[in-house]
Structure 1
Amino acid sequence: MKNKFSEPILQIDSVVNRNFTTLNSATKTYSNRCHHLKTTIIHTTKKLEKQIKKIICTEDISDDSLLGKWNAALFHVHLKKCWLVSNGLTKYNVILTDINANNVNDIDIIFKSTFYNQLIYDGIILDSKKAEEIIGDLIFRPTDNDRSTTAFQNQRIQDFEWWKYDFDSLKEMPIREINNRMNTTPIHIGKSKKMSDYTTSVEEMKKTVFISNLSDHHYT
């Protein structure tokens, strides 16, 4: 089946590939030049945890990153294992495709590069150095039993299930386009039911990055 969508080819910044280094174990070390990396915690579902036990960290490590914790869920697309990684603060989603035993040890590079390129596609201006500072050191941990995020991710995966039938295979899918649909779907953030509480993941990420940039300029 011919794709109804076209996806521009985005070149991954060479600086990203040089700076985003691979993980060696559950407690990872980085060889890049960022001396004060933050720590980003990604909690995995129980199903995903079983698939990546060798990189799960059970130590009590705090998250001090700008975006706070993320949650990762496993789902399948035409028999290929994929991850949906969602940020708790902004509800911003990153889709990782065809993750298997051969590339899971490079999951740091895969996530950071995919995150950076999705930011570009979604129109969020951010250089690779800033993206590295925001994410920093990735730590994968067991589930935090966040029911709200689980429900949110289940809905996003259900949306994906509808969209995938437009394509015959994972390779044919314009993943960044589909990821953008997720990130521009109206969502509710807040406890009230005011219209002002409705937003999109892209808008929430833009606001967070903008505030971070203002803070950086204030202290420089």
Structure 2
Amino acid sequence: MAVSVTLGGCDSTKEDAQNPETNAESSEQAVAEAPVENSAVDNPDLDGATAQQGTPVKYDVSAWNADKGEPLGTDELDSIKSAFGKVISTDENSLDYASNPATKYRFMKTDAPYLDIIDSEKYLELGWYYANPTDSDKEKELSQDHAKKAYQLSRRLMGDEGGKMVADMLSNQIIKNRVIGGQKVELAKCEFYSCMLVINKSAAQTDNS
């Protein structure tokens, strides 16, 4: 069954999402922010015109179940990177979710909708561009492709529960501090042109706190 996602945003937010910050301050702000509706979409402008709403992005999650792939551990970095494709650039001076030293692997060119993996001693983070209804068809297509890769990789890392979690993310659900498929997920959400999935590699798999 296809999952439709509609999310409002502004151009400046979109530009930020194309080049997401990796410092702790931006991560903490993202956690604190609640989803908001774009007032320009819902309310008439002063001159009586309304903003273009566009076509909601559809994620055909049911079609992504065909190939589950071999299970992966969070320490199998080479195989994890291969699941996202070819690394375009590597930043060894990046920061993780908690501002610890990390390496960021980018799988898209700088001016394209991003697809990233950030790896540190404690965290494995997946990040990708979350298209808005008013984006171009190409941007929507890339957003769908990124989501498919994240879905399939999450199933390999966390089993069917991992796939369901990504489907929930694409339906605007926010997951915090939950053990999913034996992995401690500290944060998983899609909003404001950005999806992020943060796995605490150092947490015990039996830790349900």
Larger proportion of strand: 2
Query: Normalising to structure 2: TM-score of the pair?
Result: 0.30
Q: Which has the higher helix share?
A: 1
